[in-house]
Structure 1
Amino acid sequence: MKIKALLIATGLSVLSVSTAFASGHAPQSEPWTMKEWLDTKNQMPQGSVDAGQKLVEQGYCYTCHGVEGKNMTQATPSLAGQNPVYTYKMLKDYKSGRFNVDHKSDIMVHLMQIYSDQQMADMAAYYAAQPLPYAQYVAKDTEVDPGIVRLANKGDNSRMIVPCASCHGAHGEGGLNETPALTNLSPRMFVRYMEAYRDGSRNNDVVSGMAQFAKDLTDEEIQGLADYYAQLKPRGVE
């Protein structure tokens, strides 16, 4: 029934989506070049919050990502308050096969085949319009190792590790364009993503920026950063 509703919303045939799911072969693309990403970003359609809300509701996105993009589980990420360019890029990455870390990504890779660029921009606009939540997964103001706080805000010159805050904001609220907010990202998702960057199974970051950052991090540092950002209050939140 969910797939039927999704087809009605997008106006596609049963055959088209059945082929995408039954083939079992996700699309494959080479990693982004800077030029390719900049061209794609510049061609991103203007998203409509209202149209995005309809798509999200008709596509049952809340079953995995929570009502209004606020997911209370650690199985999938919350999308509320994320930069629309970041969400759009991620949806494009799923559609192209650039982001297909493991079997957990398969459903998104297949689902995105039936959405247009305009529809992906609309969904990104809807989620960006929702308030950015925080401390859903751990208690706010949880005590964090000062070394982890220093790594997040100052980096580590001895290992040429730049501070997370230089791109993701001092409060984890996200930076310009496709740089995502990290506050409220579930620790489980954070660890999964960082390990994938570190071992090379995730390569959808433009010019491998995150892969270079993650390659020298220890398991303990990744877990520490995950816990730090899970409880960090975003700028402007009382």
Structure 2
Amino acid sequence: MKFKRLLIATGLSVFAATSVMASSVPHAEPWTAKEWLDAKRSMPQGDIDKGKLLAEQGYCYSCHGVEGNNPTQSTPSLAGQNAVYTYKMLSDYKSGRFYVDHKSHVMVHLMQYYDQQQMADIAAYYAAQPLPHGEYISKDVEVDPTIIRLVAKGDTSRMIVPCASCHGAHGEGGMNETPALTGMSPRMFIRQMNAYKDGTRHNDVNSGMAQFTKDLTDEEIQALADYYAQLKPRGAQ
């Protein structure tokens, strides 16, 4: 109950904090491969039931939807995301490594009240939920064959590796911190790809995403966004 009261008070202060200047955001240098590997090894085992309670008490659904499935395009869905990825993102907010725009201040502020175990619990809860799909795009959308080739084969002329090699053939996400892309809202996909491209997002270890997005055109990013929005997770009907 004490923790719940703390979260309620925190939630109220968070919305007030949106007017606070970004200079109050904690700062951490981008991950090195060794630092992230060490952090990943120390990630606690998450508890799904405890994570569900934390998500409910923290009112996560108010921004990310019931069970992490957000039908809007304003904030990301968390359902079905790899637990290590979600844990890393929460850690990145806590440290200030992930701060794309003023809206990030809400998450940066909130994460100061969570420890590693609680972040792992929340990540485990959302990982246990099914991936969303079909929320954002018409079912009769036609996918450009060149985009399917980019996803499956990459583009050697621009040193772009296949998206599927890390994010899975069905966009279901890869090992560890590689996120699922299937069912992601196009607006969210484009926003994050552009943030990688212009350097405002730099929490990818060794610039793993930034190096591939810099040579993508705006048209390709839009087409990739549409492709993943309509893609069904493996085994979905």
Give the TM-score normalised by the residue count of structure 1: 0.92
User: Which structure 2 residues correspond to residues 136-215 of structure 1 after superposition, within 5 A?
Assistant: 136-140=135-139, 142-215=141-214
Cα gap change, 1:10 to 1:151, in 2 (>3 Å):
farther
Unaligned runs of 5+ in 1: none
User: Which structure 2 residues correspond to residues 42-121 of structure 1 after superposition, within 5 A?
Assistant: 42-121=41-120
SS in 1 for 2:35: helix
**Counterpart AA for 1:233:** K
Equivalent residue for 2:4, pick from 9, 12, 17? 9
Identity %: 71
1:8 is displaced (CA, Å) by 2.9
Kept in 1, the 8 Å contact 2:27–2:97? The answer is: yes
1:135 is displaced (CA, Å) by 1.4
1:79 is displaced (CA, Å) by 0.5
Q: Give the Cα separation in 2 of the matches to 1:18 and 1:195.
A: 30
Q: Give the Cα separation in 2 of the matches to 1:18 and 1:224.
A: 39
Cα gap change, 1:142 to 1:13, in 2 (>3 Å):
closer
Cα gap change, 1:14 to 1:129, in 2 (>3 Å):
closer
SS in 1 for 2:103: helix
Q: Give the Cα separation in 1 of the matches to 2:13 and 2:72.
A: 29
Cα gap change, 1:52 to 1:10, in 2 (>3 Å):
farther
Q: Which structure 1 residue ranges, 4+ long, deviate > 4 Å from structure 2?
A: 10-15, 17-24
* Structure-2 residue corresponding to 1:34: 33
Unaligned runs of 5+ in 2: none
Q: Give the Cα separation in 1 of the matches to 2:119 and 2:184.
A: 21
Q: Deviations over 1:3-54 (max 9, x none)?
A: xx8x733858969x96994864110110000000000000000100000010
